[in-house]
Structure 1
Amino acid sequence: MASISLYFGKIPTELDPEQVHDYLFYLQKKSKTPSQTYFKHCVYGLRFLLKSEGLPYQFLRLPAIRHEKKLPVVLSKEEVWAMLQSAKLLKHKILIGLLYGCGLRCMEARSVRLQDLDFDRKQLKVVQGKGKKDRYVPLSVHLIRGLKKYMQGEKPQDYLFNGKPVERAGGDFDSKYSQRGVQWAVRQVAKAAGVKKEVHTHTLRHSYATHLLEDGMDIMTLKDLLGHQNIETTMEYLHIAQLDTQKVFSPLDTLFEKCSSK
């Protein structure tokens, strides 16, 4: 409310509907406006103020604002391989292997306990993932080999990845690998691998889902592996995956094939 008061030099309740609409138009066009959500809150704030003062507020109508729909960044298999090869610490190599090879979220990777690993059945139990549901995901034989080597060297006692103990509410301590530490490790490995894309921990999960679809996995199985509640969330990867049944290509390819030999 302070910004509109400064703009007109008077309190909002002294403004007529035309002035309010002029300000909102100015706010939308101003380049430094933080977001459409900020604009929405301004409208709701003005409506509440006018209504509480017994003034007309029905002229302040706001259509639903759609959030920007952005497709996730997905790495190629070559880029994932480069990251695995560029990780100097075995801990970071195993971390990348879990995030990509099991499609784990950051919190899920941090929360892996030794008791969740089943090398005989080649699977990992993801305990209380998003939505408070447990699920099992396959463990690659290559990842199992690395995990055994890592565990033999690091000798973790409870969590697979240990970090500096942090005191939590109630006086107990959390010794898990910190979220900041995981994110830093992923960024550093991606940089060392020469990956130019913006890589976060979730980028490896997106790549896991996309590559599984491209390798022939059905969408319902993928939904369960990712721990999605709604199939619509999983189906977004169909817009990214390059499937053999609906392979897209550039007309330049067919142009060169047809004309370059002439």
Structure 2
Amino acid sequence: MPYPVLDAPFSPLRQRLIDDMNMRRFSRETQRNYLRDIGRLATFLGRSPDTATADDLRRFQIEQQEDGVPVPTMNSIVSALRFFFTHTVDRPDLARKLVRLAHPRTLPVVLSRDEVARLLNATTCLKHQATLSVAYGAGLRVAEVSTLKVADVDGERMLLRVERGKGGRYRNAMLSQDLLTLLRQWWKVGRQQGVMHRDGWRSRDSIR
């Protein structure tokens, strides 16, 4: 769906918004989400989002609720619009008109030790085993696994260094001896097969 103004390649408003996000080192995914969510308002208005009024924002949120937009999505849109009106167009008065909805959080389904073992053993592909083992064994998210580099595997301190995880934060994850052995095994096999991905955690650099 096209979003007026924000879809224009050289829109000054779009560029100012991107500059504001870059200045705060927002991730690419966050920037893409903010552009999309602010674009929702532009589509609703049929004009530039920086011309919105308090009544426009009220009607916009009511329509989202009536359309059945999930609460987490609505709250994400509020975050994007608050940033836009506070930092990009300097209208904090409008940002205060946006309402975040209470959303009860439920605990995720956690697999038992046996279930995880069956999952890991269900694949005969060493690469998939290594990938799933990093995710479950070290508690990494999918995006964190995909961006992990061999240099992030510290076999001396038994740690995995996670760069720019959720919220752009850096952290360390525990590395078990079994997982380190599996990663080293995959690195050797991957090199022999010539299927290593450049600069990734499956790259040609050796695991320490």
Task: Give the structure-1-normalised TM-score.
Answer: 0.38
Higher Cα radius of gyration: 1
Task: Give the structure-2-normalised TM-score.
Answer: 0.47
Indicate the structure whose relative CO is greater, using CA pairs within 8 Å and at least 6 residues apart: 1
